[in-house]
A and B are shown apart, each in its own frame.
Chain A
Amino acid sequence: AQSVTQPDIHITVSEGASLELRCNYSYGATPYLFWYVQSPGQGLQLLLKYFSGDTLVQGIKGFEAEFKRSQSSFNLRKPSVHWSDAAEYFCAVGASGGTASKLTFGTGTRLQVTL
């Protein structure tokens, strides 16, 4: 069974500083990987996804993530954080194959941005 670990429960960064959110996954085959963001009381918005190909993927809002198979990681980065980026971030892994791939989510990382 697949699993996702987000080691950091809470991260605080200053506005304008760089950001890296960690995500490690466990899956026996090539995974499908996702990063979602959730604002308080809202649903989840897809930031970016990795299925295959270039291991550095670009997403919305200036986010990017790099898939590193050797480290089983899919860390999310942003070079300069904005106050509006404060939210909960979830990494998720989906099983490849099948017609109704379920997603397994990590426990989330809450990002706080100080001005």
Chain B
Amino acid sequence: GAVVSQHPSRVICKSGTSVKIECRSLDFQATTMFWYRQFPKQSLMLMATSNEGSKATYEQGVEKDKFLINHASLTLSTLTVTSAHPEDSSFYICSARPPGGPYEQYFGPGTRLTVT
């Protein structure tokens, strides 16, 4: 149980275009999902907390107009990187937290974004 998927696993896009990454909880409903960014050989940096049916909460320094998050259902959250630039190239990982606690998060396999 507690499986989280991400799609695509790898994407290459041109500078200036937008790309959407999907995060799905497959066998549980997730009222809260999280989006992280991970640079090579570094830890995870929380970008935003996504709550179903409401606006995402972004961490300080994360541009909300650049990283659009939508959590339209209890099993799906999407991250759209708008007007991508090469510096947005990174490994993006989502996680989902089952409702009612306790507080462990289950992680997706990640999406490798390369902006050329």
Contact = CB atoms under 8 A, between A and B. Distances in A.
Contact of B107 (A36, A41, A100, A104): A36
Given A102-B46, A106-B43, A44 B104 contact: no
Given A32-B103, A34-B104, A46-B106, A102 B49 contact: yes
B103 A43 contact: no
Given A51-B102, A100-B97, A44 B46 contact: no
A39 to B, nearest CB: 10
Nearest to B36: A105
Interface string A12-30: 0000000000000000000
Contact of A42 (B4, B104, B105, B110): B110
B81 interface: no
B93 interface: yes
Contacts of A106: 43
B44 A90 contact: yes
Given A32-B103, A36-B107, A43 B43 contact: no
Q: How large is the interface on A (under 10, 10 to 19, 20 to 34, 35 or more residues)?
A: 20 to 34
Interface string B97-116: 10000111111111010000
B49 A43 contact: no
B51 A100 contact: yes
Interface of B: 4, 6, 32, 34, 41-44, 46, 49, 51, 57, 91, 93, 95, 97, 102-110, 112
21 contacts: A42-B110, A43-B4, A43-B93, A43-B108, A43-B109, A44-B44, A44-B95, A44-B107, A45-B107, A46-B105, A46-B107, A49-B104, A100-B32, A100-B57, A101-B97, A101-B103, A102-B46, A103-B103, A103-B105, A106-B43, A110-B41
Interface of A: 32, 34, 36, 41-46, 49, 51, 90, 94, 99-108, 110
